[in-house]
Structure 1
Amino acid sequence: MTPTIYLVSLILPFILLYQYILLPLFLSPLSKIPAANPLSPITNLWILYIRWRNIENQTLLRLHQKLGPIVRLAPNELSVNCYEGGLKTIYGGGFAKDEFYVRRFVNYGKVNMLCMTDNKAHGLRRRMLSSVYSKSSIMSSASLRVTSRNMLFDRLLPQLVKSAEAGKPVDVFKLSYAYSMDSFMAFQFGLKLGSNFLLDTKERDWYMDAFFGRRQWYFWSDNFSGLVGGLLRVGIHLVPKWITIANHEAADWILKKCDLAEEMVSSGEELPVGDVPTPYVQERAAFRKASGDGGDGAPEDYPYRWELASEMYDHKAAAMETSGDTLTYIFYEMSRHPELQKKLRDELLKLDPPLKCSLEGDAELPEFKAVDDIPLLGAILQETLRRWAPVPGGQPRVTPPPVCSLAGYDNIPPGVKVHSSAGVLHRNPEVFPNPEEWTPDRWLDSSDKQTSEMNRWFWAWSSGGTTCLGNNFATNSMKLVIATVYSNFTTKIVDAKGIEQDEGYTAGPRGSKLMLQFDRVK
């Protein structure tokens, strides 16, 4: 053995000891932060195990209840559960997104707004679409009035009337997903090109099977994307092959919608108001205005084909899943509270015109603003988004240079993964007394000071520059269907097995089912 090799063999163990044991355990600025597990300061194996078992959300809640507002999950990862020095700093301070979003949400090989990690690029993309999703645009949209009327009076109500007359229970989980998808895609692509999951159950079941089939495999693609891709290149499917095929089929389905929308818009023909693909037209124009080139697609592609498709795919997926889960839990909670159904119905019948069922084709919608202004309806939606947050998982960011302070701890270096989660924030008993209880009245009867504090901690739509772009559309769409249902029906639970919330970044009922009986109001 040469002297050099001998010297290295003596020094190397001390270097490794310092780098991987002494530094993270005792010398790192993160060493003072409470650790989730004895292994957390020196390896990410513990948090990977928690994610593999799919128990991260419940684990983080328990940890914060025990250890306080900030917890160290891994050598370079923190969970933060507070407003000052937490939400306000991380999400209002422009911390960049973690690569998690790229691994999870890239479509067609193109980043969309959700997975943009560069704040400047994200802001530019957001401005391309913000006007069409603004509350004033949603409230005054002529095309949305046409499509909403079609969803409610032509597709949804006839089915509910038929089920009620037959005394047949309805799977509200599938119904909520179908309505959420149809409602948004009619706005996104117009009635002619949008989905029809409320009536075409075969297509709905195909899409939902493909959409949910991949959930149990997110652990591998989120945490070992390089390994998944590397094995795939040599023909080994760590994620089952049928998942890949289903993903491609779903992507092709949306791409075809984009292609047909492009063909329709570029023809220059005047479209019926309900067939206008509003968000598609908006972003199409914004892309072309922002740059003189045609994107980086193949010569035969129309300008920005793949960028548009990536954005449209993401918007559609978010609208279906988050609104579908929220509506499912609203119907569940309302069915447990028949007295609240009557109280809400009394308010709804004051609308002019009321949202009463008419199978003669002559029903009209009240003004969107009139529905939006019903306090009890707003409280029901708000409380459901709090108690059953559709995105309960962590929303990871990366600390910026040179250093920052979080939850009372200073000198946190750049490049540390940090995240907060609605599923934990919404269960702070000091802000939301009895947090596990679904109590809409908390949004109606609290003092101004209490309401202000609850609103600061309410995080169903995220916050800062990454606040959910579609929250105004989703709020309007959900309020309309809740108002329509309880203007015409009472609901009661037939089978709620599996209604407990699943784990994950997004999460709905573990059993993916909720059977309710609908009865007509006389």
Structure 2
Amino acid sequence: MDLNITLLALGILGLLAVYQLFVYPAFLSPLAKVPAANFSASFSSLWSNYIRWANIENNTLYELHRKLGPIVRLGPNELSVDCYEGGLKTIYTGGFHKTDFYKNRFTNYGMQNSFTMIDKAEHSARKRMLSNIYSKTVVLASPTVKETTKSILFERLLPIFQAAAETGRSIDVHRLDYAYAMDSFMSYQFGLSIGSNFIQDDSKRNWYLDNFFGRRPWIYWITEHPQLAALLSKVGLHIIPKWVDESTEALEAWQIDICDKAERLLSTNPSIASTDPGNYPAIFATERAQFQKSDGVNWKTVSPGQAYPRRLEIASDMYDHNAAAHETSGDTLTYVYYELSKRPALQAELRKELLTLQPPILFPAETADISTVTFPDPKAVDQLPLLDATLQETLRRWVAVPGPQFRRTPAEGCSLAGYDNIPGGVRVSCLAYSLHRNPNVFPSPLEWRPERWLHATGDELREMRRWFWAWGSGGNMCIGSNFATHSMKHAIAAIYTNFTTEIVDAEGIEQAEGFTAGPVGDKLVLRFRHV
């Protein structure tokens, strides 16, 4: 009797398990009506984990949406969405929370930053601390940005291209683009004297980039299964090699040392913003001041090795911001130069536009004292139509953050892409890689065509801008987009005012897979000729 009851109970439990794990998700769940990416996707996450582990996610999802439509089921509790109304607009401006993807991948020093914060109120409060210093009005008018931009272009970057043009030597510009993007950003973040000098110090540049990108093959485990990786490491099975953690620690140590220098500078020279704008750590100082205001703390002079309030929180934000800046802007510039180098006539047309600046950015400068060089109004550079279209089209065709940006549906549920009753807690995402390839919005989407932004009708332009997602959207839109645009436009303007470029070696220029992604071959070799 007892045995029969036990067997009956086990049978019932087995049937319940089959129902819960297979029958309900595959046939009865509200998600069952959504086209599935794979036969197993309705009841298992193995397939979606496979495409992430194999690093083929972006193109796989793009092809699936072309085949199955604007919404695809990737797993029992996950959807990919590829439309604006009922998709991008609903998810990213409708208050959907982030997932642990961001916390797992982008936390620094064990401390969350604005990018990793899942709670909307917490994220908004942190973002507001820096929103003004990153605003377009402030960036274009900033004395620090003006001085640092001139210095980095005239004293660091352009002399390299001038020397190459004079000797006929070709240059691999890809890592140099990372260097320019990092130096440009960190000079606004920390000032010229404290920020990086990767353009001229190629050994430090390669040390940083080798450590930063060397960890990428293991990013799947860090992002998707950190607990499993940590558990296995405790029993001696290191899915993630120990040197990956060592690289992270080395990068964090380098970053926080720069923060500490900035703190000492500000605590000993509080008037540096007005007396020496080129060395003013503007972004660091802004967040520091906001924390001082909220905490009511008057920080004293900091000695080397001495902690100060909010040290790790500020450092985590600063690290996140410059890591994003150097990678995304560096990749974008590489693709700008690649596309322009294939089109001598377009280079000439762009140069004609650039020479209308008053004054144009001519190199070499007439004086050795760069501080006396007159630069064009940043607003005038920003408003050049062909320059803007060139950058805009590169951000579309070669979007630097092509991968899915994950959110969680709200507890009350929602409707997506024409499907109602989507339950709460479902992992959902859009990806710019696919959004930017919609032929109904961007005809011939795989072609790089700056003229699409110049000759579109008002309605066409509005539609393209709705689908354009290089900077994200909503409350989590890239905070640094205005500075990145300024930095990249000035690099393009300075180079193509003074030089022509042609391709020597573009093998591997096709875009890699990943949340962020540059050329597979990690190179672009160009020849420069002075005009």
Tell me if TM exceeds 0.5: yes
1:185-216 per-residue CA deviation (whole Å, 9 max, x = no partner) reads: 11100001010000000000000000110111
Q: Is residue 2:311 matched to residue 1:310?
A: no
Equivalent residue of 1:493, what SS? Answer: strand
Corresponding residue number in structure 1 for 2:353 = 347
In structure 2, the partner of 1:291 is 295
The answer for the alignment partner of 1:406 in structure 2 is 416
Are the counterparts in 2 of residues 98 and 117 from structure 1 also a CA contact under 8 Å?
yes
AA matched with 1:339:
A
Q: What is the rounded CA distance, in whole Å, between the counterparts of 2:415 and 2:193 in structure 1?
A: 52
The 5-angstrom pairing of residues 191-210 of structure 1 reads 191-210=192-211
Aligned to 2:125: 124
Letter in 1 for 2:231: G
Partners in 1 of 2:240 and 2:378 — Cα distance?
44
Structure-1 separation of matches of 2:394 and 2:359: 27
The whole-number CA distance in structure 2 between the counterparts of 1:435 and 1:8 is: 58
Shift of 1:393: 0.2
Identify the residue that residue 445 of structure 1 maps to in structure 2.
455
Counterpart code for 1:51: R
Q: Mind listing any 5+ residue stretches in structure 2 that lack a counterpart? A: 300-304
Matched residue pairs, number? 518
Asked if 1:301 is matched to 2:307, the reply is yes
The question of 1:282 aligning with 2:286 is answered yes
> 2:240 & 2:292 partners in 1: Cα distance?
37
Counterpart AA for 1:207: Y
Looking at structure 1, the residues matched to 178 and 380 of structure 2 have their Cα atoms a distance apart, in angstroms, of 25
- For residues 156-167 of structure 1, the aligned pairs below 5 Å read 156-167=157-168
1:312 is displaced (CA, Å) by 0.2
- In structure 2, what is the equivalent of residue 255 of structure 1? 256
2:335 corresponds to which residue? 329
Cα-to-partner distance string for 1:451-500 (whole Å, 9 max, x where unaligned): 00000000000001111000000000000000000000000000000000
Instruction: State which drifts further: 300-309 or 392-401.
Output: 300-309
C-alpha deviation, 1:222, in angstroms: 1.3
User: RMSD value over aligned CA atoms?
Assistant: 1.4
1:234 Cα shift?
4.7
Offset, 1:294: 9.9
% identical aligned pairs: 53
Deviates more, 1:236-245 or 1:191-200: 236-245
Mapped partners of 1:136, 1:91: distance in 2: 25
Name the CA distance, whole Å, in 1 between partners of 2:401 and 2:413: 29
- The one-character-per-residue Cα deviations of 1:44-81 (angstroms, maximum 9, x if unpaired) are 00111111111000000000000000000000000000
8 A contact 1:294–1:303 mirrored in 2:
no
Determine the C-alpha separation between the residues in 1 that align with 2:298 and 2:432. Answer: 39
What is the CA distance between 1:242 and its match in structure 2? Answer: 1.6
CA distance in 2, matches of 1:235, 1:322: 36
Using structure 2 for the length normalisation, give the TM-score. 0.96
Q: CA deviation at 1:512?
A: 0.4
Q: Which AA in structure 2 matches 1:389? A: V
The question of whether the paired residues in 2 share the 8 Å contact of 1:149 and 1:364 is answered with no
Give 1:95's aligned residue: 96
Q: Deviations over 1:412-471 (max 9, x none)?
A: 010000000000000000000000000000000010000000000000000011110000
Report the secondary structure of 2:38's partner residue: coil
SS in 1 for 2:132: helix
Q: Distance in 2 between matches of 1:252 and 1:230?
A: 26
- Structure 1 counterpart of 2:28: 27
TM-score, structure 1 as length reference? 0.97
